[in-house]
Copies of this chain bind each other. A is one copy, B any other.
Amino acid sequence: MKPIQVGLLGIGTVGSGTYNVLTRNQQEIRRRAGRGIEIAMVADLDTARAKSLVGEGVEVVADARAVIANPAIDIVVELIGGYGIAKALVLEAIAAGKHVVTANKALLAVHGTEIFEAARAKGVMVGFEAAVAGGIPIIKALREGLTANRIEWIAGIINGTTNFILSEMRSKGLDFATVLAEAQRLGYAEADPTFDIEGVDAAHKATLMSAIAFGVPVQFDKAHVEGITKLQAADIRYAEQLGYRIKLLGIARRQEGGIELRVHPTLVPAKRLIANVEGAMNAVVVQGDAVGTTLYYGKGAGSEPTASAVVADLVDITRLHTADPDHRVPHLAFQPDALADTPILPIEQVRTSFYLRLVVADEAGVLSRITTILADLGISIDAVLQRESAEGEQQTDLIILTHETIEGRMRDALAKMQALPTVLAPIVSLRKEELA
């Protein structure tokens, strides 16, 4: 049988990885898929560079629409990124009856509902394994491997740049700005790292996972997003003393009355496997009611790891494109007519425990006033660490770990504590998850 014909839109890092993997492992992939998979056409504005990357037999064009218009192309792989032209091209490819594979988490987290509906109406598939956690087959695990389960929560290190920065801050005791500069020099962070360090990229991925886990539409606009730019080396040290590590987690959790969807720096017990995921690696923990805790670990970015996910989708489509569309795996794991309207909860209603660091005057009665505020709001304390003040110092660090509470209540407590004259600096407040 003639190999299935693939057209690439964009041949940057992931595109060239996809070409290389498909070429190098073509025999192995054909033995699995029962049919060859071949990149027949590539669209890239830099046609000279594109030509230098692919073999003689591949047609290179500057115009992406020429790929979509080519009737010989079965699957279009969108690797342009962003919400703009990528969205138009994905919708046009679907309209032209092409199956689509994309690594574009931003596009799907924001416009997924429109795109999946267009694909359903046209009877084509949209594969997006590469959009979350690079080469780790987490979309497949959630969508197919854990179908027996009522998923309770997901917590993932799903941005390699920030995990690299946090690992370096901890192991070398450096501050954020210094490590960010190093990460940029090493190529782990982009020249404009905003999407990574502000948590936006992780929130795109958490949004996709929340939809698949709970059977709700993608709702990126409802996600609570905090990055790591304000994180201080002192808090990483104190967390470590208390048996915790700080990781930027994307969390989606089923909660009474709704779903939590949030990205923020999080204290995690140091003994958990996920706390020991270092450098640019990714890992996702999934808690299901039947299976219990499972974890998936691997490279979350990079040319060939991401290509591994793109090609897995190509093989899935090659195997399944002749199947009755109603019996394929639904894009968001649940049948389109079975999505729920469970709300995404505002951050004030999120349940979590907290790490607080207060700079307080070193005098009698300070701890009592603070603990009274917490007690009055029903927030119970798990541990207190008071640094002994140095000779002649008039202030000291007071660290408090709380038990679980509602975020809104903690905000009240923070406002009251901040107003105390003996609290001498802005209180640092970080969320803590036991992941047990």
Contact = CB atoms under 8 A, between A and B. Distances in A.
A32 B333 contact: yes
Given A276-B276, A292-B298, A308-B288, A315 B21 contact: no
Contacts of A140: 137, 140-141, 144-145
A297 interface: yes
A432 interface: no
A326 to B, nearest CB: 7
A147 B312 contact: yes
15 contacts: A17-B290, A28-B149, A29-B147, A32-B215, A32-B335, A135-B290, A135-B291, A136-B294, A144-B144, A276-B276, A292-B299, A292-B305, A293-B297, A319-B329, A322-B327
A311 B31 contact: no
A75 to B, nearest CB: 14
A21 B290 contact: yes
- Enumerate the 7 nearest inter-chain pairs by beta-carbon distance, A residue then B residue, closest first: A137-B145, A148-B311, A294-B298, A135-B291, A31-B338, A323-B323, A291-B308
Given A148-B310, A276-B276, A293-B298, 19 more contacts: A22-B148, A25-B289, A28-B215, A29-B148, A30-B338, A32-B330, A129-B145, A144-B316, A289-B304, A290-B308, A291-B304, A291-B309, A292-B299, A292-B304, A293-B299, A297-B297, A322-B324, A322-B327, A323-B324
Contact of A291 (B150, B299, B338): B299
Contacts of A17: 290
Interface in A357-377: none
A148 B277 contact: no
Interface string A145-178: 1111110000000000000000000000000000
Contacts of A328: 319
Nearest to A336: B34
Interface string A1-41: 00000000000000001000110110011111110000000
A30 to B, nearest CB: 8
Nearest to A305: B291
B25 A312 contact: no
A424 to B, nearest CB: 41
Contacts of A25: 148-150, 289-290
A334 interface: yes
A41 to B, nearest CB: 20
B297 A148 contact: no
Nearest to A282: B294
